[in-house]
Amino acid sequence: MRHAFIAASTLSLLLAGPVCAKTPEQVAAAALAASPVFDGHNDVPEQLRDRRKNVLAGFDFNDTTGTADPAKGVAAMHTDLARLKAGKVGAQFWSVYVSANLPEPQAVQATLEQIDVMKRLIARYPGQLQFCTDSACVEGAWKQGRIASLLGMEGGHSIGGSLAVLRQMHALGARYMTLTHFKNLAWAESATDVPMAQGLTPFGKDVVREMQRLGILVDLAHVSEKTMLDAMAVAQAPVIVSHSNARAVNHHPRNVPDSALDAIKANGGIVMVNFYPAYVVEDTRQYNARRAGEEARLKSLGAGNPDAVKAGMAAWDKANPLPIGSIADVVAQIDYIAKRIGVDHVGLGGDMDGIENTVQGMEDVSKYPALFVELARRGYSQADLEKIASRNLLRVMKGAEAYAKAHAGDAPIENPTTF
């Protein structure tokens, strides 16, 4: 009888057909339902400053698709509440970026203004946004159906060479700082400026130490390889790279070299992949170099004749369309980092509203699900996708918070005033 029962059971299974596997769309949807996107870098505050001088009267963040100004060559914004919801974004680091060309005292003021305008924007939409400064708040906001909104400073010029200012920025809610932007500081070397004798000076290393004592994430986007390695030699808590890619795939100096990737793995940190073609696609980087060369050639030949240069560049642009890549190129970046140092060290930092174009398929913040579908199609599991979406960044935040809690009794690091 037992053998007959087994045979009958086997037959019924065969007749029922194969067990239905989840489609990539289903895997992606399940991952994002369990672990919504926690993006590392969005430049809405910059757009508010550039477009509106930080005046929010008349600004509707529910829908910004009508913010284009073709006469001025201004495109519509990438971000609004409707598209964040469609993109399954559950948490966002808003970049309170100010230009690295500003004198440092002015940069400090401008950063305060950017913190203010983003706090005011968040407060205007209490049903959809929640200001957060720690991981517990992020997870609580998700449970309430709100987008956790955190602040990150982009560039150490925002503290004006003062650890006292750093502490006050922390008190105002800043929870990461990118050590440099595109220019060197007196204490830190940028990836895109003239090389310095060292990555971080002794004061720069104190900045890293004080950031971690406070619980501010150390962000290594925009910094040189030397600065990355110097920072991680000092760091005792996990670091982030909020919006960069792998230099082995795209050789732009803004991207993370293998030496730093390996150090990030050892540190327990995370690299958050962005969507800017010049940093994602090597062909785009090469194109930009060719275009710059052609422009320099025309200016040399047409000195004193700017109209000829303009006409020549228009003809060149028409004959040489910009390659922008696609979601597949973003996946290639994620693949490289995940294979090199593990999927536990990958996240997303789209750089939306801080870039003039994106790879095809990632045109605005509503498009994240398409990326996750493609990752699922390439064999990433639901658990992998949950890590990339937000679990990895939450782990890093919790590590930084635990370090700060353990060192809450440490004395602040002091540096003398300069004026």
Same domain, 85 and 226: yes
419 occurs within a structural domain: no
Total-model pTM: 0.93
25 occurs within a structural domain: no
416 occurs within a structural domain: no
Q: What does DSSP assign to residue 322? A: P
Same domain, 339 and 313: no
Same domain, 271 and 369: yes
CATH of the domain at 185: 3.20.20.140
Residue with tokens 């407060």: 123
Same domain, 207 and 314: no
Looking at residue 13, its pLDDT comes to: 44
Domain count of the fold of the chain: 2
Residue 105 tokens, joined: 């005292």
For 157-209, the DSSP string reads GGGTT-HHHHHHHHHHTEEEEES--SS--SSB-BTTSPPPS-SB-HHHHHHHH
Looking at residue 6, its pLDDT comes to: 44
Q: Are 303 and 276 in contact (CB under 8 A)?
A: no
Same domain, 231 and 331: yes
Same domain, 220 and 294: no
Same domain, 229 and 298: no
Q: What is the 3 state secondary structure string of 220-235?
A: CCCECHHHHHHHHHHC
Q: What does DSSP assign to residue 391? A: I
Cite the active site residues: 41, 43, 154, 181, 222, 243, 351
96 occurs within a structural domain: yes
Distance between CA atoms of residues 54 and 49, nearest Å: 5
Q: Phi, psi (5° rounding) for residue 91?
A: -155, 145
Looking at residue 14, its pLDDT comes to: 45
Same domain, 254 and 317: no
184 occurs within a structural domain: yes
Same domain, 225 and 268: yes
6 occurs within a structural domain: no
341 occurs within a structural domain: yes
Same domain, 296 and 359: no
Q: Phi, psi (5° rounding) for residue 356?
A: -85, -20
Q: Which of 323, 354, 384 is the last residue of a domain?
A: 323
- 130 pairs with which residues across the strands? 148
Looking at residue 20, its pLDDT comes to: 67
Looking at residue 5, its pLDDT comes to: 42
Q: Phi, psi (5° rounding) for residue 316?
A: -65, -45
325 contact partners, CB below 8 Å, separation of at least 6 = 277, 280, 281, 283, 284, 359, 360
57 occurs within a structural domain: yes
Q: Note down the domain range covering 299.
A: 282-323
Distance between CA atoms of residues 401 and 135, nearest Å: 8
Same domain, 310 and 276: no
Q: What does DSSP assign to residue 193? A: S
Same domain, 83 and 163: yes
Residue type, 60: D
Successive 10-residue mean pLDDT values, the chain, 419 residues = 45 49 95 98 98 97 94 93 98 98 97 98 98 98 97 98 98 98 98 96 98 98 98 98 98 98 98 98 97 96 92 97 97 98 98 97 98 98 98 98 98 92
Q: Are 147 and 90 in contact (CB under 8 A)?
A: yes
